[in-house]
Copies of this chain bind each other. A is one copy, B any other.
Amino acid sequence: MGRPRNTELDAALLDAAEELLLERGFSAITVEAVATRAGTTRPAFYRRFDGIPQLVLSLLLHRFAIDLDRVIDCGNLPADLEAIQRDQVELFANPLVSRSLAGFLDAVQTDADLRAVFVQEFLAPRRYGAGMIIHRAVARGEIPDNPNVEWACDLLTGPLLMRALMPGLSGLDDALIGQSVSSTLHALGYRSP
């Protein structure tokens, strides 16, 4: 019951957060600035979000929604992994992600509730997708039984994360796709047919 939420405000706050994130980076965002740019006030912000980290998570979930129905399946492991990595490079190369990631992960380490939502809504679906692909490859006989899925994920994502966060490195380019897929295939025991 009660007066319904003004959904335009939700969108305005997310948009404002996106702009400020791109302009100034995570640590420089303030609730005040987000609310002002969205044309509203702090109380309206706090009615919707618990704080900046939760707002950023919301933003990430909206901008990088995952479609669990439209799961990748190219028919063979190399093509599947390449598709995953193409998505991941795009994700980490997106300024929205690269500007917010470090600060957001810092918040995640401190706030257990935030961490739980992040894992469940953002990370788990992506890991589930990768796990599916690998298990399908096992089923097809492309790779041996008992694949180390977690290590495969580390190999796929770790290097991209590094390029996104560590200063003084080359950026994220498509060369990383082939390299990481190749390393991952080897780690999973894939032998080219």
Contacts and interface: CB of A to CB of B under 8 A. Distances in A.
A154 B176 CA distance: 10
Contact of A158 (B24, B105, B115, B158): B158
Interface string A138-167: 000000000010110011011111110111
A76 interface: no
Interface band, chain A: 35 or more
Interface string A93-118: 00000110011011111100001001
B118 A167 contact: yes
Interface in A31-75: none
Interface stretch (A12-20, A128-136, A179-187): A179-187
A168 B119 contact: yes
Interface string A16-30: 000000001111100
Q: How many copies does the complex hold?
A: 4
B166 A162 contact: no
Nearest to A53: B27
A155 B167 contact: no
A25 B111 CA distance: 10
Contact of A154 (B26, B102, B159): B159
A155 B159 contact: yes
A106 B97 CA distance: 12
A6 interface: no
Contacts of A179: 148, 151, 187
Interface of A: 24-28, 98-99, 102-103, 105-110, 115, 118-119, 123-124, 148, 150-151, 154-155, 157-163, 165-170, 176, 179, 182-183, 186-187
